[in-house]
Structure 1
Amino acid sequence: MDDVIIPVAFFLILAGAVVAVAYFQTQRNRDRDKQYAEAMHEYRQVVERARSEQESTRLQLVELGHRLQNVEGLLRSVD
């Protein structure tokens, strides 16, 4: 019976160490994943802002194109 105690204790300590390492690695991965999710959220906000600004700029260019056509028509009518 005494011969069994040392190997069982060894394996229990080894299993405890493995569980502890796995737990801390999981916590570290959770923190990293949380930081990544926050960064991706900020990136999405920046992309949405850039997209809306791009759409606004496109609309202004279309408006300027129409105005330029009107001015061009006026200049041609003068000739």
Structure 2
Amino acid sequence: MDDVIIPVAFFLILAGAVVSVAYFQTQRNKERDRQYADAMNGYREAVERARSEQEANRLQLVELGHRLEKVEGLLRSVD
């Protein structure tokens, strides 16, 4: 009976160590995933801002193109 206590205690301690290491690794991975999600959300917002600014720039270019056509028409009419 005394020969069984030491191996059982050893395996219980080993199992407890494995479970605790796995638990802390899981917690660390959850925190890393949360940080990754926050970073992706920031990138998504930056992309949306860039898209809206790009659309505004495109509209300004179209407006400038129309104005340039009008100026070209005026210059051709002077000839």
User: Shared fold by TM > 0.5?
Assistant: yes
List gaps (5 residues or longer) in structure 2: none
1:46 matched residue in structure 2: 46
TM-score (structure 1 length as normaliser): 0.97
Q: CA deviation at 1:2?
A: 1.2
- Percent same amino acid among aligned pairs? 84
TM-score (structure 2 length as normaliser): 0.97
**Aligned pairs, number:** 79
Instruction: Say what the alpha-carbon RMSD is for the aligned residues.
Output: 0.6
**1:60 alignment partner AA:** Q
List gaps (5 residues or longer) in structure 1: none
Which aligned runs of 4 or more in structure 1 are off by greater than 4 angstroms? none
Distance in 2 between residues matched to 1:39 and 1:31, nearest whole Å? 12
